Structure 1
Amino acid sequence: MMSAAACFLLFIGLVAVLGPPVLRRVTHGGLAPRLGVIAWSAAIAAVVLSWAMAALLVVVDLLRYRAPGESMLGACLARLQESIGGVDTAFEVAGVAAATAVVSITVWITGRLAVGLMRLRIRTHGHARRARLIGHQVRGVDAVVIDNAERVAYCAAGRPHAVVITTAALAALDDRQVQAVLAHERAHLAGHHAQILAVLRVLAASLPGMTLFTAGAVEVGRLLEMCADDRAARAHGSRALLSGLLALCAPAQVPDGALGAGNIALLDRAGRLASPPRRAEKVRVCLLSAAVVAMVTAAPLALAVLEVTGTMWCLPMAS
C-alpha cells in the first residue's frame, strides 16, 4: 500500500508542477472553452482524489501494523529495528503520529472546503433574495431591475436564482443588447457556473501555495465567461453581445459569489467575439484538451486498479 501511496503522491507532484503551464498554453486562448473548463477541473479533481487515496492507503497501512513485517511499512520498520535495536514503542508512536498528521491535514482541508462553500452559498442566496425584494420588473426585461447608477448585469445563485440588471445598464443598452447580456447571465445559471467557481475558489483560498488551484480558479473563471458568451451569441448574435458587453465595461461592484457580464477578461472575450477562430485551429485545441483530460483521468484510475488487483508495480519494495 505504501508503494501505491507513493505513486499517488508522485502523480500529484507531477500534475502540480507541470499542469498549470501546460493547461494555460492549451486553454488560455479560449478556442474550446468548455473543454478547457473540463481539462482544468479534471486536473484539479485528479489531484484532490489522488491525495485522498494516498491518505487512505497510508492510514490503512499504519492501522494494519501490529508487529514488524505485517505490512510494507512494517517491513521497513523491521529493517530499521534490526540495525539500531529494539525500539518497538518508539516506532509505533511514530506510526501513529504519521497517521494522525495525514488524517488531520485531510480533515482540515475538507473542513475548510465545507465551511467556505457554506458561507459562499449563504451570501449568494441572501443576495438573490434581497435583489428580488428591492428590485422591480420592467416590461420586456426578464430580470430583476435594481435602481443603481452603475452599469451592471449579473446573476446570483439562489432559490430561486436571480438575474439582475441595473437601471443604468438598461439606459445604456438597446433591446437586442439587453437580451444578449441577459442570455449570457442565464447561461451561467443553466451551466451551474457559480457552483463550479465556488468550489475552485474555496480550494484556492484553502491552499494558496498550490498554483494548480489558484491558477485554475482564475483560468476557469475566464473560460466560463467565454462559455456563456458563446451560448448567448448563438441565440442573439455576436455583434449584439459584444456591443452590450463593451457598454458594461465601466468599473462596477459585483456582489461576492455573483457572476457579472462585463468584469472578467473582457478584452480577451471581445477579441473572440469579433474574430472567431479558424476551424482547424479550434479542432487542434479540442484534441489537445481531450488528450490532457484523458491523461490526468487515466493515471490515477490505473493506479487504483493496480492497487485493487494487487499488481502494483510502481516503486517496488526490495526483498
Structure 2
Amino acid sequence: MMSAAACFLLFSGLVAVLGPPVLRRITHGGRAPRLGVIAWSAAIAAVVLSWAMAALLLVLDLPRYRARSGESMIGACLARLQESIGGADTAFEVAGVAAATAVVSITVWITGRLAVGLMRLRIRTHGHARRARLIGHQVRGVDAVVIDNPERAAYCAAGRPHAVVITTAALAALDDRQVQAVLAHERAHLAGHHAQILAVLRVLAASLPGTTLFTAGAVEVGRLLEMCADDRAARAHGSRALLSGLLALCAPAQVPDGALGAGNIALLDRASRLASPPRRAEKVRVCLLSAAVVAMVTAAPLALAVLEVTGTMWCLPMAS
C-alpha cells in the first residue's frame, strides 16, 4: 500500500505542476471547447481522487506497520516516535489518530465547502429566477423574461423553472436575429449545467488557492464554457448574428451573482474565434491532443488502483 500511495502522490503532483501549462496551451484557443472542458475537469478530478486514494491507503496501512516498524518509511517514523514518547502502542495510537484526523478533517472541509458553495449558488440563482419572473414581463416574439433596465444585458439563472433574462436596453440595441442568437447562447448554458460546473471549480480554487491547476482551471473552464454556448447558438442562428449581438452587449453591465451573462467573459477572444473559425485540420489536432490528455489522466490512477488490488504494484520498491 505504501508503494501505491507514493505513486498516487507522485502522479497527482506531476499533473498539478505540469497540467496547467500543457492544458492551457492545448485548450486556450477554444478550437475544441467541449473537449477542453473535459480535459481540465478530468485533470482536476484525477488530482483530487489521487490525493484521496493516497491518504486512504496510508491510513489503512498503519496497522500493518505497527508490527514491522523497521521495514518502511512509516515504520521508521513510528520507531522514532516510540523512542521519543515511549511505547509502541502509544506511538501507533498517536500516529494513527493524527493521520486519521488529518484525512477526515481535510476531506470533510473540502466536501463541506463544495456542498455549501453549491447550496448557496442554488439559493441565489433560484431566488433571482423567481424574482425575475415576478418583476419582468413578456414581449411578443421574445422567449425570455424582459426586465426594465438601462443596462444592456442578457443572462440566465437556474431555477424551477429556469429563467433567461434580457433587459429592455438590450432589446432596443439588438435586432430580432441577434436577440434569438443571444438567447440561444443563454439556453445553452442552462442545458449544459454550466453554472454548476463553474461553481464546483471555483469552490475548489477558493479552498486550495495555492494549487495552480485549480485556480487556472476555474478561469479557463469559464472561457471554454462560454465558447461551448457560442458554438451551440451559432449553429442555430449563425455566427454573424451571434457575434454582432455579443458586441452590442459588450458595455459593462451588472449580472447577478451565480448567473452567466452572454457578454461578460473573454469577449474579445470569443469574437475573434467567431469571426475566424479554426481550420478543420487544426481542430482535429486539438481534439486528438485533448482526448490524449483525458485518456492519460483517467487511465493512470485506474491503472495504479488495479495494480494495487491485484498485488502487482511496481512503482516503488517498498515493503508490501
TM-score by structure 1 length?
0.94
CA gap 1:227/1:161 in 2 versus in 1, 3 angstroms? same
Shift of 1:207: 1.2
CA gap 1:55/1:167 in 2 versus in 1, 3 angstroms? same
Shift of 1:291: 0.8
String of CA shifts for 1:228-267, please: whole Å, max 9, x gaps.
1011001100000000000000001111111100010000
CA gap 1:101/1:83 in 2 versus in 1, 3 angstroms? closer
- 2:64 and 2:148 mapped to 1: Cα distance? 65
CA contact (8 A) 1:55 1:102 kept: yes
Match of 2:102 in 1: 101
- 2:304 and 2:177 mapped to 1: Cα distance? 52
Question: How many residue pairs were aligned?
Answer: 318
Shift of 1:105: 1.3
**Identity between Structure 1 and Structure 2 (%):** 96
CA contact (8 A) 1:46 1:300 kept: yes
Shift of 1:87: 4.7
SS in 2 for 1:164: strand
CA contact (8 A) 2:3 2:316 kept: yes
Match of 2:71 in 1: 70
Shift of 1:16: 0.7
- 1:213 and 1:79 mapped to 2: Cα distance? 36
CA contact (8 A) 2:78 2:91 kept: no
Name segments (4+ residues, structure 1) moved above 3 Å: 63-67, 69-88
SS in 1 for 2:312: coil
- 1:287 and 1:176 mapped to 2: Cα distance? 35
Shift of 1:83: 12
Shift of 1:86: 5.6
- With 25-34 and 43-52 compared, the bigger mean Cα shift is at 43-52
Shift of 1:38: 0.5
Match of 2:50 in 1: 50
Shift of 1:77: 3.8
CA contact (8 A) 1:62 1:99 kept: no
SS in 2 for 1:96: helix
String of CA shifts for 1:274-313, please: whole Å, max 9, x gaps.
0111111111111111111111111111111111111111
Match of 2:310 in 1: 309
TM-score by structure 2 length?
0.93
Unaligned runs of 5+ in 2: none
CA gap 1:84/1:104 in 2 versus in 1, 3 angstroms? closer
CA contact (8 A) 1:147 1:167 kept: yes
State the Cα RMSD in Å: 2.3
String of CA shifts for 1:120-176, please: whole Å, max 9, x gaps.
111111111111111111000000000000000000111111100000000000000
CA contact (8 A) 2:82 2:91 kept: no
Shift of 1:96: 2.0
Match of 1:61 in 2: 61
CA contact (8 A) 2:6 2:316 kept: yes
CA gap 1:74/1:228 in 2 versus in 1, 3 angstroms? same
CA gap 1:257/1:166 in 2 versus in 1, 3 angstroms? same
CA contact (8 A) 2:42 2:298 kept: yes
CA gap 1:63/1:127 in 2 versus in 1, 3 angstroms? farther
CA contact (8 A) 2:66 2:88 kept: no
CA contact (8 A) 2:126 2:158 kept: yes
Shift of 1:204: 0.9
CA contact (8 A) 1:242 1:270 kept: yes
- 1:172 and 1:84 mapped to 2: Cα distance? 75
- With 214-223 and 48-57 compared, the bigger mean Cα shift is at 48-57
Unaligned runs of 5+ in 1: none
CA contact (8 A) 1:16 1:210 kept: yes
- With 27-36 and 6-15 compared, the bigger mean Cα shift is at 6-15
- 1:83 and 1:262 mapped to 2: Cα distance? 62
CA gap 1:87/1:255 in 2 versus in 1, 3 angstroms? same
